[in-house]
């Protein structure tokens, strides 16, 4: 019976892939939370904010990062996005605060306003989801998500 070189090659590739997975570090996921949003100087029809993220590393090894990207969805719609080429290291069993500028375009703000006008019940508990990635090289990139609700200040919603 003739040898099947393709079958042999596929078996070798599968074994190589499985052994490579064993060499990857076994890391717990980072804990990432939004800890603040502050206004930045805006230009034209856009609004800019600085989003402060607290990153906690629960691992025994430091995590190096070379950039971060964020998307902020409010009420199920994309509201803002931002990127930063910040670089650094989060030490083992430690935390860091990262500040990322995000931009809200006039179109996104208008789309949000129309969505809120259609659904007045949501205005005091606007659901948000922050999606992002912390770049760290070929195998070190980590994706994350944080979610919750935003409430209007009492002074803006009639004191309810």
> What integer is the mean pLDDT of 138-156?
72
Is residue 115 domain-resident? yes
Whether residue 155 has pLDDT greater than 80: no
Does residue 95 or residue 151 have the better pLDDT? 95
Is residue 157 domain-resident? no
CATH code, 38: 2.60.40.10
Does residue 131 or residue 2 have the better pLDDT? 131
> Per residue in 35-86, pLDDT tens?
888 999 988 888 899 989 999 999 998 988 999 999 998 888 888 999 999 9
Whether residue 1 has pLDDT greater than 60: no
Domain extent for 125? 27-150
Confidence (pLDDT) at 94: 96
Does residue 68 or residue 14 have the better pLDDT? 68
Secondary structure (3-state) at 112: helix
Q: How many helices (H) and strands (E) does the chain have?
A: 2, 9
Is residue 104 domain-resident? yes
Average of per-residue pLDDT values in the chain: 80
Confidence (pLDDT) at 156: 45
Confidence (pLDDT) at 154: 52
Is residue 108 domain-resident? yes
Q: How far apart are CA 111 and CA 10, in angstroms?
A: 50
Is residue 88 domain-resident? yes
State the pTM of this model. 0.69
Q: How far apart are CA 122 and CA 124, in angstroms?
A: 6
Tally of structural domains, the chain: 1
């Amino acid at each position: 019976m003739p040898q099947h070189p393709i079958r042999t090659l596929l078996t070798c590739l599968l074994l190589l892939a499985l052994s490579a997975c064993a060499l990857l570090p076994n890391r717990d996921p980072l804990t990432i939370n939004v800890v603040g949003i502050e206004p930045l100087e805006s230009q034209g029809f856009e609004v800019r904010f600085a989003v402060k993220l607290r990153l906690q590393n629960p691992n025994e090894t430091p995590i190096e990062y070379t950039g971060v990207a964020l998307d902020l969805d409010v009420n199920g719609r994309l509201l803002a996005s931002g990127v930063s080429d910040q670089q650094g290291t989060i030490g083992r069993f430690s935390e860091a605060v990262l500040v990322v500028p995000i931009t809200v375009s006039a179109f996104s703000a208008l789309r949000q306003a129309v969505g809120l006008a259609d659904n007045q019940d949501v205005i005091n508990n606007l659901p948000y989801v922050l999606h992002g990635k912390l770049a760290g090289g070929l195998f070190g990139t980590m994706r994350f998500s944080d979610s919750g609700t935003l409430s209007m200040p009492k002074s803006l919603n009639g004191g309810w």
